[in-house]
Chains A and B, each alone.
Chain A
Amino acid sequence: MWDNPSLRCLLAIAFLHLLSLIYSQETGFPEEPGNLKCITHDLNRMICSWDATSSANLGLTYKICYTNSEPFSPVCTETEGKRADLPVAMGSTNIQITTLNASGTPLATETFVLPEENVSLIPFTPQILNLSADFSTYTLYLKWNDSGSVFQHELDASWQIQILYKETMETVTLINYESKLTGKDSILFWNWTSDIPLECTSYYVKIRCYINELYFTGRKEWSEWSPVRTVPEKDTKPNSAMVFPQDKVVLVGSNVTFCCLYNEGKSVKFMNYGSESYPLLRLSKWSSAIKVQNVNASIPSGTNILCSLVPDDLEGTVLFVGYAPDTPQNLNCETRTFITITCSWNPGRPTALYTKRQTKYILFERISREKVTCKVDELNEKHHCDFPVHANQKIYNFTLGASNPLGQAESSLLIDVNQRVHLETPDKFTVSTNSSTNAHLSWYIPGNFIKIRLLCQIEISNSNSEQQLNVSMAGAENSNYRARVDALHPYGTYTFRVRCSASEYFWRWSKWSEGKKLTTLEAPPARGPDIWRQRSPVGETLTVFWKPLLLSEANGIILSHEVSCYLRERMLKAYEVPVPLNSTEIKLGGNDCLISVTAKNRAGSSPPSRITSVDLPSDNVKTELAIATGNGIYISWHSDPNVTCGYTLKWCISSGSEPCSVDWEMFPSNAIDAVIKSALFQPGVRYNFSLYGCKHNGYQLLQNITGYMKELPPKVAPNFTVEETSSDSILVKWEDIPVEDCQGFLKGYILYFAKGEKGSSKTSFMEEGSPELTVKNITDLTKKSLRILDLQGKTSYRLDLRAYTVGGIGPSKDLYVVTKENSVGLIIAILIPVAVAVVLGVMTSILCYQKREWIKETFYPDIPNPENSKALQFQKNICEGNTALKTLEMNPCTPNSVEVVETRSTVLKIEDTEIISPVADSELPEDGSDPGTGSHVVVSYCPPIIEEEISSPPIDEPVGSSQVIYIDIQSMYQPQVNPEEEPEINFVTTAGYKPQMQLPINNTMKMESHAPTEEDLDKTAGYRPQANTNVWKLDSPDSPVSIQSNNENRSFGSPCSINSRQFLIPPKDYEDSPTPNNTGWSFTHFFQNKPND
């Protein structure tokens, strides 16, 4: 039964409980221990502590007896302090603490039951073994001992690492780190990267630990923080100002913090990144920072960061922002010489890093494990690198590595060097020849190609063709290669060039060598020239013609032609005709012979061309017309069975005054037609051809042919005249158009006619589209006249004759013809009215005779009294009461009086005023009667008398009868006065109206200029009452000074003066200004006022 541990446990608890009940009765002793606390660091031993009142009685000791739940006897220890080291037991521990005095007498005893739950697991405080910093990478490295040997078995441990910075020890971060304790001491490592350069401020690190023992049921707690370790400081009192990070390389898009360290007593004025200023972050009293986000690629020399300090100091650093190298693109390796393999590639995206930070390339070959560092030319976009060819290696496995401070990339390529041969451009290329058809070529290619065969391509080109020739040849080492080209044309100029590649495995052609020109040697002409001959009309001489050979047939430069004459295989004569003549004349001397022509160049003579001189007689040779095809002339002929050796068509083209040049073309015997083309043919020109047949004994003229290459409309109109005209017909005659003006075969004429007067219309009939137009088409070319019938008499007709060909209708020529009068009609037209008149007269006479009594009674009564004549009875009252119809009497004129009523608002209306004042218009009644105001003006006038007086004007004295009396004319409008001339104004005001002849005239030059005009007016004007011609003459020396400076103003206020009528109208500005300041009408004033008018 005791074997059961749980039962034993229960019994023990019951026993302890009983004990505690017993001891509880003894409470109240001051030395009694209480408040027991136990912690363990290693799960092996625990440290228990308790409270006990310490009395003055020193020398107290404590006896601790503990028993585990195991059935062991209690273990007792004695201690002087209030703590004891006990083993950690599973389950609970019974602890009895007895306080003993110095003599060993128990004073108080307390028993505790300590369950495992009440024990705390607190690991030992960890110790940082080492803290180091890598300033270049902003990284802190931490090293500590996990003290794993404390525990006997494996455990999970958690670590907390706290990083603080600045003097104020602000937490930057708190990191959890998990590890396993293995029962042995191990060193743990951990690193952390800051985003601020470590130089910028102090960093502090501390660490604590937590053991996660699953089987331990007690409380598990974090250890104490380790002592703080500080990163070796840089920010405390630096020697001189500095900016960090220095010369750092970062990726585009990074966020970078820069700090500026400075001496005490200084401060940062600003910090710039590039040219931009950023807000300052204060890190310490010696350090400030800026944070730049998402940096862009820097300029080639790097982006400058500037720290400006107060007082005057400046520091800075440079940041290089770029990209990691791109994967090398289009990596290609090939050999040119079999000495090195050249790999080339495209670097891809630029890194924006230069000089020592630029991308470095290393070419690595895996099979030979050889490495080559590539030198990169930054100017060349395509990079390349050379790798040596190894004697016994065919396959190469290349890896090109690219690296810069921000990263690396690589590309690989596996090649068989024999399949990647790209030869150098053939050099020292020479071409030579010693014949007319061959050429020898030689070129040099650097490199060792002993192991491969080469394929070379030779390009042969001349002005009109180009061909390529492939030549395969064995490779050699740094050697010249040769080739021979056949089948060239003699005296041909060719350009040769060559390129090569590997023959077996074609990879790429080399570049073309430079082109070399070569002209082959001459050879004798390939054939004899085309020949023709022409006998003179008399038959004494024979002209031999030949055509020059084509360049391809001449095989050189033709120097001359040899013409010889054979009679039965015997040469009679021979002529050497130099170039460029292409004909010669041979005197036959009555004999026919066989003509032979050969062309000669430096290399020799051509085979001879032969032709006989015999002309067979021909009769009844017809001339036929050829058909124009637009670009040639189509000619056809009848086949002649006697023609055995072909036909020859000969023609002659004349240009200008020179004799025509003979041309010909030969056709086989079976030909019956041909289209003749020549660059010399022109449209609208007639050409004559002769067709000869070649018979066994000579040539015979078979046919003549005329034709055009292209028919055009006739150049001129036919010359035509009107032969005779009658009242209803016209006979028209015309002449033929000369052949050279026809420009085609004439097909007929077209005659247009319609009514039309000469000069009425110049346009042609066609354009006019006259409805009466009649068209006659004359297709019979033999007809040279035409009678036009059914015309109207005495009518003008317009005639228009045109010729036409297949090419169109030619120009027109007009004629106007008037048909003759129809005399019978005229006679009838006269006779009929005469007859009618006579008949009417007779009938009237008869009628009057019969009614004579009535007529007499009516028209001629016995007593002729006009009063009774009804026919002469007019209306009486027309003249009654109208004395004006009586004869007018001329009486001397009695001046009439016009009373001018004084008025301020009314302007006097003058009938002959051309310019009417708007005021007068609006305010004066139409009839000019007194508007009812009190004032008026009486004007005395006498137009008829004035007329007379003008014809004989008095010279010295004013005319008393022509008086105009003004009453207060000044009231209408104020005169225009200069202020300094005020007295004169007064004079005017008081004087009232004065006739112009009495007005003093100022003799100014201006008036003189006006004088002729006014004299003219004197002559023409009908009305001139007040004028005194003497007065108008301005330069009378005794004239008093004008009351107004401007002479034109002297006539101011004169309503009747013809010359001064305008003065009656007040100018607008006078009305507007109540005190006018200018009395005159000077010219300038006039112009100034004009816009107002």
Chain B
Amino acid sequence: CDIRETSARDSWGIFAFLCAALWNLPAIPALNSTDEVGAGQSIQKTYDLTRYLEHQLRTLAGTYLNYLGPPFNEPDFNPPRMTRAEMVPSATVDFELWRSLNDNARLAANYRAYTHLLCYLRSMDGQVAKAELRKNLGHFCTSLQGLVVSIASVMSSLGYPLPSPLGSANPTWAQGPGSTSPHNDFLKKMDDFWLLKELQTWLWRSAKDFNRLKKKVPPAALMLRLEMRGF
């Protein structure tokens, strides 16, 4: 229950932060939605950040899974996904379905997923017994927070509205960690395991998404267009 409150508070904090960021967006030339060069750069930066996070996660996951102990740190450990409680948003959306989504929907899904994963990651932070690992987690959280803001800026620069705050109609995971019945430690470990796995998948997918988006909005062409307009 406490966790839920914390996460709710966190969500509001993030939301407030995002609002503030958005308020200031027009002032920042790179994020100016009217300037499509800004969008291109913004996508590129988001893509770079995604790749960086992928790299960072690889190190973090290794350390964290070792912390969880066997069997979580065994390379062939592949547990069936628990159906009882979806604590972590699953990235295993059907490929075709994902393809059929438009940029806006895909970005919104990314945004929602990272917002939630971040929230869960923060709750995980407090339960870790190793200070060093806590520090690494904190560092990763900060980076992930940056990614959420980046996605928001990409969306706004492309003129898409930010997804609405998560309602009760959303799946279980949308209600944040701790929303279901009290977990035992093993299930918590399992959730942590899935969180890392999902983060990996989402980051991989995001990298692909942003790469595609980057090609769709080539900065060079935009520059040209801009120059034409200038003339």
Contacts and interface: CB of A to CB of B under 8 A. Distances in A.
The answer to whether A binds B is yes
B74 interface: yes
A480 interface: no
Nearest to A358: B129
Contacts of A313: 80
Given A312-B80, A354-B129, A318 B185 contact: yes
A318 B189 contact: yes
B127 A300 contact: no
A323 to B, nearest CB: 15
Of A240, A299, A317, most B-chain CB atoms within 10 Å:
A299
Given A314-B79, A317-B185, A304 B129 contact: no
A303 B185 CA distance: 10
B68 A304 contact: yes
B216 interface: no
A304 B131 contact: no
Contacts of B79: 314
Given A301-B189, A318-B184, A318-B186, A306 B84 contact: no
Interface string A76-99: 000000000000000000000000
Nearest to B84: A240
Interface residues of B, number: 20
Contacts of B128: 301, 355
B183 to A, nearest CB: 10
B192 to A, nearest CB: 9
B130 interface: yes
B140 interface: no
Contact of B131 (A246, A317, A379): A379
B14 to A, nearest CB: 25
B75 to A, nearest CB: 12
B160 interface: no
A275 B70 contact: yes
A317 B72 CA distance: 13
A525 interface: no
Contact of A275 (B68, B71, B189): B71
A316 B68 CA distance: 13
B184 A247 contact: yes
A885 to B, nearest CB: 112
B70 A304 contact: yes
Interface string A301-344: 11111100000111111100000000000000000000000000
Nearest to A272: B71
Contacts of B184: 246-247, 317-318
Given A301-B189, A354-B129, A275 B67 contact: no
B71 A304 contact: yes
B62 interface: no
A378 interface: yes
Of B67, B68, B84, B186, most A-chain CB atoms within 10 Å:
B186
A64 interface: no
B67 A300 contact: yes
Contacts of B68: 301, 304
Given A243-B186, A246-B184, A318-B189, A300 B129 contact: yes
A314 B185 contact: no
B69 interface: yes
Interface in A260-295: 272, 274-275
B71 A306 contact: yes
B225 to A, nearest CB: 55
Interface string B35-58: 000000000000000000000000
A301 B186 CA distance: 10
Interface string A235-271: 0000010010011000000000000000000000000
A299 B127 CA distance: 14
Interface string B183-198: 0111001100000000
Contacts of A314: 79-80
Of A247, A314, A378, most B-chain CB atoms within 10 Å:
A314
Interface string B66-108: 0111111010000110001000000000000000000000000
Of A243, A247, A312, A316, most B-chain CB atoms within 10 Å:
A316
B71 A247 contact: no
Given A246-B184, A317-B185, A274 B70 contact: yes
Of A240, A243, A300, most B-chain CB atoms within 10 Å:
A300
Interface string A1007-1039: 000000000000000000000000000000000
B110 to A, nearest CB: 30
Given A247-B185, A317-B186, A318-B189, A304 B72 contact: yes
Nearest to B64: A301
Given A272-B71, A318-B189, 5 more contacts: A275-B70, A301-B67, A313-B80, A314-B80, A316-B189
13 contacts: A247-B184, A247-B186, A301-B68, A301-B128, A303-B69, A304-B70, A316-B189, A317-B184, A318-B184, A318-B185, A318-B186, A355-B129, A379-B131
Q: For the complex of A and B, list the 6 residue pairs with the smallest distance between their C-beta atoms, beginning with the closest.
A: A354-B129, A275-B70, A318-B185, A300-B129, A316-B186, A314-B79
